[in-house]
Amino acid sequence: MEKIGVFLCTGCGIGEAIDVDEVIEAADEVGCACTLTHECLCAPEGLEAIRGAVSENELDGILVAACSERAKTREFAALTEDGPSMFRIAVREHCAWPLKDAEEDEDKTMAAQDLVRMGLARLDGVKAIEPLEEEISDTVMVVGSGRAGLEASLTAAGLGHPVVLVEKDDHLGGLLADQLSIPPEQPPYEAPEANPIPGLIDEVNAHDDIKVLTDTGITEITGQPGQFKVSLNGSSGLEMTVGSIVQATGAKPYDASKLGHLGYGASPDVVTSHEFENMLVDGKITCPSDGRTPGRIAYIQCAGSRDENHLKYCSSECCINTLRQMMEVKKIDPSIENAVIYKDIRAPGLMEYFFLAAQKETGGMMARGEVDRIEANGKLSIHMTDSMLGDNVAIDADLVVLAVGMVPQSADGELIRELHDSVHQAETSESSKVRENSAARAEELADFEGTEILNLDYRQGPDLPTLEYGFPDSHFICFPYETRRTGIYAAGTVHAPMESVQAAEDGLGAAMKAVQCIEMAKRGEAVHPRAGDTAYPDFFLQRCTDCKRCTEECPFGTLNENEKGTPELFPLRCRRCGICMGACPERIISFPDFSVLMIAEMIKAMEVPDEDDEKPRILALMCENDAVPALDAAAANGATWNPWVRVIPIRCLGSMNIVWLAEALSRGIDGVILIGCKYGDDYQCHYVRGSELANTRLENVGETLERLALEPERVKLVELSHDEFGRIPQILDDFAEELDEMGPNPLKGF
C-alpha cells in the first residue's frame, strides 16, 4: 500500500484511556498519508469523515484504530467497496478496556501506539487481490442412491443444478430399499410409516435434470471443486466434469458372523434384524430351524454395538427399528410375544412417542441387561449379566433377533495412501531397514487394497479422510456437512450413524452445501470457514526445496505433488487457513493479505523498551476463530490484564511460522504466547489440526531457543475454547509472571 490513512476513534472510552495526540504522533513518525481522530467513527459522520479523507488524499489503505473487527463490521466494510484495503486494530478491546487498571497511563498509550505501528506495518505489505476466474461446472454428482443420495439428488436438481446420480448396484434405494416400513416421521409419531424409497426412486427417475447411472463405479476424480473431472466405469464408461460431489454411499450391517457369543451361526433361529425384516416383508414369521411360529421373539439391542470388541459406537437407529419391527410383528401375528433386551433404549426426540406407542401396543417386555451369551438347546436361552431383573439371569425365546449396528461404506483415504506409500517404499527405498518396515506396514494395511470409492487424484489419498470409526466427518459442530475435502460433502449413514429421516435431512443439507460450493466457486470465493475470501495462496516455486511439508500438512488435500515432489496448487480446494504458510521453511507461501513477512513486519514494528525501563513485552499470537473472539468477550466483560501484552490475530495457529518466534525473541521481546483451539480427539480447530501442528513445531523450536541461550519456556502454547474467555486474564497474567521470574530477555538491545 502506498498511501495509508490512520483513523483513530476516541469513543467507547478510548479517548479517556490514551493520550490521543501521542498515538497520532507515533503514526506520523512511521509515516502515513493522513491521520484523523473522531469521537465516533462508526457513526455516519465518522464514516463520512473517513470517506472524505480517502478521496481527498487518494488513499489506498485505511487503518481503522477503533474496536474489534467483530464490532460494527458492516459499517466499516462498506468503506472498502470503492477499492481501498482496510485493516482494523482493536484499540478498544486490546488496550483501552483491558488495560484500564494499568498502573501508569503511559503504558496504555504505548500499547495503542504499538497497535497503530503494527497495523501500519501490516497494511503496508498488503497486495491487491486478484480473484480467481475459472470455468465452473454446475453439475452436482451424487454417489450412492439410498435415502440420503435420493434426497440430495432431488434437492440439487430442485435448485436448478444438473445432477448425476452414480450407483454401484443395479438398482436404486440402498439399504432401505427392501424394508417393509420406516419409523414414523409425522405427528403423532405412533405408527410405522410406508417406505418412502419407491416413491423417491420414481421421482428421481422422472426428473429431467437427474441422470441416473446404475452399475457404475468411479475410476478417477481429478481437479478441484467446480472442475472435478470424473471418469466412470461400468456400462456407462463416461467422463464428465462436475462442480461438487455428495458422497452418500451409506452403510452396511455389521457382520453378524463375528457375534458367535450371541448364538449367530450356532443356531439358525438367531437372525439379524435385516434377515428378520425379510420375514416381515413376506408376512410369515417362522423359526428358520423348523418353520414353527415363535411363541416369543427376543430382540437383542446393541448386538455388537457400543462394544469394545466390535463397533464402539451407537448406530442410533437400531432401537427405533426394533420398536418398529415389534409393531409389525403384532400386525402379522398378535399372539407372538416380543421381548427386548437392551443396554439403553435410545429413542431420541419425538421418537419417544413411538417408544411409548410401541410399548403400549405390543405390551412388549423390555429389560435392561448385558447379554453374556445365547445358548441353543432346543429353546434359545439368553444369559444376561448385570440385569435390572436381578444379577445374572437367563430368559428363553424361540427366535432371537440381533439388532446389529451399521458400518459406514467409506474408504479410509489416509490409510489407503499409507498403504500405497508403504508398497512404494518397500520396493524402492535404498535403506533395507526402511524397505523392511514399509513391507511390514503394507502387509498390515493390505485389507485396504481396492477399497477406494471416489478414487480422488489427491496426494493425500484417494478418498475422504475419516475422523472416528471410519466416518468421513470434519467438524460436526461448526460445519455439519463438511468433509476434509472441499467441495465433497458426506451425507447419510456414511457420514454418521443415523436413521432414515435424518438421512433425508442430511442429504438435503449436503446438496445445499454442494450447490453453495459451486456458486461461490463461480465468484472465486472460499466456501468456509473464511466464506467469501477471494484471496488464495501464492507459491514462489523458484525457491521451493520440494520438502513436501506443505503437501503433507495441508488438512484439506489442497496440494498435489509433481514427480519431483514440488507442490501443485488447486486454489479452489483451499480453505485459506495458512497452515502451508506456517509449515514452509523457505517462507515461499503467501496470501496477498496475509504472509510470513507481514506478520514479521508487525513484530518488528513493536517498540521494545530497554531493560532499564522495566517494561517487558509479550507477543500474543492468537487464533482469530476462537481465541480472539474470546479475548473480545473478556474485554467486553470488564476483564483486565497485563499491559505488556501485544496481540496479533492470525488465521490459525497452524499458520504460525517459526520465523515469527525467532524474530520476536531476537528483538528482545520477553515471551511469545500462542493461544489457539483445543486439539486432540475432541479438537475444536476449524482447520482440524492447526493448533496441533503448531504444538509439534514448538517442540522442535526448543533446541533453537537453547542455542540462542534462551529459556524454551519463553514460548508457550495455550488451548482455549470460545466459551472460556474468563480464563484470558489469568493466562496472560500468569505468563507475565513466569517471564518476570525468568528475568528480561538477554537479547534486548542487540
Interface residue list for another protein (CB under 8 A): 295-296, 337, 339, 345, 355-356, 359-360, 362-368, 381, 383, 388-390, 392-396
Cβ closest to another protein, residue 392 vs residue 562:
392
Those residues with Cβ within 8 angstroms of residue 636's Cβ, 6 or more apart along the chain or in another chain? 93, 97
For residues 147 and 249, what is the distance between their CA atoms, to the nearest angstrom?
10
- Which residues are bridge partners to 252 per DSSP? 407
Between CA 586 and CA 593, with CA 591 as vertex, the angle to 5 degrees is 130
Cβ closer to another protein: 389 or 531? Answer: 389
Q: Which helix (H) or strand (E) holds 501?
A: helix 500-522
What is the DSSP code (8-state) at residue 677? -
Closest CA to 86 of 76, 94, 72: 76
Q: How far is the CB of 304 from another protein (least distance, A)?
A: 22
| Beta-ladder partners of 171 | none
Cα–Cα distance for residue pair 54/86, rounded to 1 Å = 11
CB of 277 to another protein, least distance (A): 24
- 29, 331, 371, 590 from 403: Cα distances, Å: 74, 20, 13, 53
As measured in angstroms, the least distance from the Cβ of 395 to another protein is 5
Q: Which three cell numbers stand for residue 304?
A: 455388537
What does the chain come to in residues? 750
Kindly tell me the burial class for residue 393, based on how many C-beta atoms sit within 10 Å of its own C-beta (0-12, 13-18, 19 or more).
Answer: middle
**Comparison of 345 and 739: residue with beta carbon closer to another protein:** 345
Q: Cβ distance 84 to 62 under 8 Å?
A: yes
In the bound complex, what is the minimum distance in angstroms from residue 345's beta carbon to another protein?
A: 7
Distance separating alpha carbons of residues 664 and 673, to the nearest angstrom:
11
CB of 634 to another protein, least distance (A): 41
Cβ proximity to another protein: between 396 and 568 the closer is 396
- Which lies closer to another protein via its Cβ, residue 356 or residue 434? 356
Contact between 17 and 100 under an 8 Å Cβ cutoff? The reply is: yes
CB-wise, 129 or 367, nearer to another protein? 367
Secondary structure (DSSP) of 200-268: HHHHHHH-TTEEEE-S--EEEEES-TT-EEEEE-TTT--EEEESEEEE---EEE--GGG-GGGTBTTBT
Burial of 531 from C-beta contacts in 10 A (0-12 / 13-18 / 19+): exposed
Nearer to another protein, 364 or 671 (CB): 364
Q: What is the DSSP letter of 165?
A: E
Give the nearest distance from C-beta 299 to another protein in angstroms: 14
Cell triple for residue 92?
Answer: 478498544
Q: 413 near 458, Cβ under 8 Å?
A: yes
List the grid coordinates of 305.
454395538
Q: CB within 8 A of 237, min separation 6: which ones? A: none
Contact 141, 217 (CB under 8 A): no
In sequence order, the 6+-apart residues with CB closer than 8 A to the CB of 613 are: none
C-beta closer to another protein: residue 360 or 543: 360
Q: At closest approach, how far in Å is the CB of 225 from another protein? A: 47
Instruction: Kindly state the DSSP code that residue 293 receives in the 8-state scheme.
Output: P
Q: Which is nearer to another protein, 395 or 510 (CB)?
A: 395
- Tally: H helices and E strands in the chain: 21, 32
Q: Tell me which residue has cell 501506539.
A: 113
Q: Which is nearer to another protein, 90 or 345 (CB)?
A: 345
Could you give the CA distance from residue 189 to residue 452 in angstroms, rounded to a whole number? 39
Q: Which is nearer to another protein, 364 or 529 (CB)?
A: 364
Residue 180 C-beta: closest distance to another protein, Å:
23
In the 8-state DSSP scheme, what is residue 683? -
What DSSP string runs through 301-342?
EEETSS-TTS--S--SSHHHHHHHHHHHHHHH-TTSEEEEEE
Q: What is the closest distance, in whole angstroms, from the C-beta atom of residue 323 to another protein in the complex?
A: 11
Cα 212–chain centre separation = 31
Q: Which is nearer to another protein, 127 or 368 (CB)?
A: 368
CB of 332 to another protein, least distance (A): 18
CB of 354 to another protein, least distance (A): 12
CB of 363 to another protein, least distance (A): 4
Cβ atoms of 31 and 63 closer than 8 Å = no
Q: Which is nearer to another protein, 392 or 637 (CB)?
A: 392
Residue 91: name the closest of 109, 107, 73 by CA: 109
Cβ 352 to another protein, closest distance in Å?
9
**Whose Cβ is closer to another protein: residue 394's or residue 531's?**
394
The three grid cell numbers given for residue 216, joined into one nine-digit string: 457404475
CA pair distance 172, 314, nearest whole angstrom: 27
Instruction: Please report how close the Cβ of residue 324 comes to another protein at its closest, in angstroms.
Output: 17
Q: How far is the CB of 475 from another protein (least distance, A)?
A: 34
Closest approach of Cβ 394 to another protein, in Å? 5
Contacts of 288 (CB under 8 A, 6+ apart): 268, 269, 271
Minimum CB distance to another protein smaller for 375 or for 561: 375
Nearer to another protein, 129 or 285 (CB): 285
Q: Which is nearer to another protein, 44 or 378 (CB)?
A: 378
Taking the complex as a whole, how short is the minimal distance between the CB of residue 260 and another protein, in angstroms?
Answer: 17
